[in-house]
Each structure stands twice: as C-alpha cells, then as structure tokens.
C-alpha cells in the first residue's frame, strides 16, 4: 500500500502535475492540501478518469483538502470536534484496504487523517496562538481516534520542522515559526500517542526537505524544510517498508512549493 501526502498549492494550477504523477506512481492513497477551490469546482471527472475515488473539503482561494483513493472512503469527518473553525483544513476517512497476497479476501480498515496545519505567521502573533490551539484540539481528537483504529495514518502539511536536521540552516530558523519549541512540543505529542515518523524509520541522506520557498532561488540552492509528514500507528509502522520525498515535481514548470512525501506499507 503506497500512501502519499502532497501540498499542491492550488489544484486548479497543479492538476496536470497531479494527473501525470498519479499515472507514474500509482499510489493507493493520495492526500492533498491547499487545493484552493470550492467543492463545486473540484475536478471530480478528471480524478475518477485516472482511476481514483475522491472526497474533498474545499474553500475559495485558501486552504482545502482532498483524499484520492483506490477504494471507497467511509466515516468521513471534515471538522475537528470542539474546534470552531471555518477553515477547511481537515479530512478524515476510513478505507477498507485489501491485504495479504495469499489471502486476498482479507481486509484492513485504515483510518486516514489528512491535515493542513496552520502556518502560524510569526511567533507570538494571533495566528501563532491560533495554530497552537488548533494543534491542541487535533491532539485530543487524535487520541480518541487512536483508541478506535489500530491502523491509523496522520499525514499532511504540518508546518512544523520537528528537528534541526529537518532545516537547511538550524541556527537561522531557531525559535522562528515552523521551528519554535512549542510547535515541536506539539509534534512530540503525536509521537507520545504512539505514532512514528515513517520518514525517520529509514536511513536518509542529509538535507531531505519537502518545502522550498519560491523566493531567493531556494529550491535551486536547496534551502528547504521538512514540514510534510506521514505519521503512522505502531501496527502500520511495523509494516512500513520505505519512505521518501519525491523532489522531481518541485523542478517542473509552475510547481507547487512542496514535494510529495511517500510511504509504502506491506499489508
């Protein structure tokens, strides 16, 4: 089972990239963030023609999330309970995944939680306080979901670089938004709930980033941060066989500023 997260920074602009990438990579699940379109404008026919079912929660100009899958999604949630928020940043669904080549009739229920966590703008700002409150509500909901679903994936654009090695210049970013201690503490709380960072299950080359600013030739100079993540429950961590960042789409014409992050599980 190949699961992917990708902040496409406008699906209207990046749809050709997504369709080309789907054709090449054939993931089982693709979670998108920042689709930046209302539900009435979502390109359902194009996605279904590529062989995928899709659910989405859109918003004009900003935010918006979607889950593309080979199977049918159930138990769909588009709001975190207890969080009064009009921004479309969450989409959770359960997928019935066929598992075991020797026993094709066996199925595993996988809970997918696709999140676009607020950026926070600047430490100490109203948007930063909003981000920390948003994360607090997510942790509470995640704890409830973990108790229900042994096979759970939390993935998306976290807007958090959890460690110094996830930043091109740790000293420059120290204490700034995306890298501040309170944000990293929230990431640690996901881990404390039993989730693993699938990317760090495997030996990785240095300077592995998933986001590069459009400015200052950041991608060419590799001035990036790893802020897109796939976290998995223990049952899925034990089945994870690889995890990587695909930088190729970031080099395409008119790219998203994020690259897809991929994890593969042997279920």
Which residues are tagged catalytic?
A: 116, 157
Distance, in Å, from the CA atom of 198 to the CA atom of 153, rounded to the nearest integer, reads 10
Distance, in Å, from the CA atom of 209 to the CA atom of 228, rounded to the nearest integer, reads 9
- Mention every residue, 6+ apart, whose C-beta is less than 8 A from residue 25: 2, 4, 246, 260, 262
* Closest CA relative to residue 254, chosen from 11, 91, 40, 77: 11
Distance, in Å, from the CA atom of 122 to the CA atom of 47, rounded to the nearest integer, reads 36
Q: Is 167 exposed, middle or buried (0-12, 13-18, 19+ CB in 10 A)?
A: buried
- The structure tokens 């001035």 sit at 223
- The structure tokens 């599980």 sit at 265
Quick check: 120 and 105 in contact, CB under 8 A? no
Q: Is 38 exposed, middle or buried (0-12, 13-18, 19+ CB in 10 A)?
A: middle
Helix (H, G, I), strand (E, B) or coil at 238: coil
Could you tell me the two tokens for 149? 């679903």
Cα 78 to the chain's mean position, in Å? 15
């Amino acid at each position: 089972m190949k699961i992917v997260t990708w902040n496409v920074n406008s699906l209207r602009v990046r749809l050709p990239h997504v369709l080309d990438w789907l054709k090449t990579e054939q993931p089982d699940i693709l979670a998108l963030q920042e689709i930046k379109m209302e539900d009435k404008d979502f390109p359902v026919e194009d996605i279904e023609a590529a062989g995928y079912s899709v659910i989405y929660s859109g918003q004009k100009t900003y935010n918006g999330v979607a889950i593309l899958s080979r199977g049918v999604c159930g138990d769909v949630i588009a709001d975190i309970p207890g969080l009064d928020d009009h921004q479309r940043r969450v989409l959770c669904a359960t997928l019935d995944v066929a598992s075991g080549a020797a026993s094709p009739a066996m199925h595993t229920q996988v809970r997918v939680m696709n999140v676009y966590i607020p950026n926070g703008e600047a430490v100490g700002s109203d948007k930063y306080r909003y981000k920390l409150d948003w994360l607090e509500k997510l942790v509470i909901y995640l704890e409830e979901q973990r108790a229900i679903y042994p096979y759970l994936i939390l993935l998306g654009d976290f807007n958090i670089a959890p460690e110094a090695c996830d930043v091109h210049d740790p000293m420059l970013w120290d204490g700034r938004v995306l890298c501040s201690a309170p944000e990293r503490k929230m990431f640690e709380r996901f881990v404390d709930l039993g989730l693993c960072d699938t990317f760090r299950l495997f030996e990785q080359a240095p300077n592995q980033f998933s986001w590069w600013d459009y400015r200052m030739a950041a991608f060419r100079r590799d001035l990036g941060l790893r802020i897109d993540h796939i976290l998995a429950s223990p049952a899925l961590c034990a089945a994870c066989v690889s995890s990587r960042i695909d930088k190729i789409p970031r080099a395409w014409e008119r790219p998203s500023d994020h690259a897809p992050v991929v994890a593969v599980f042997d279920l």
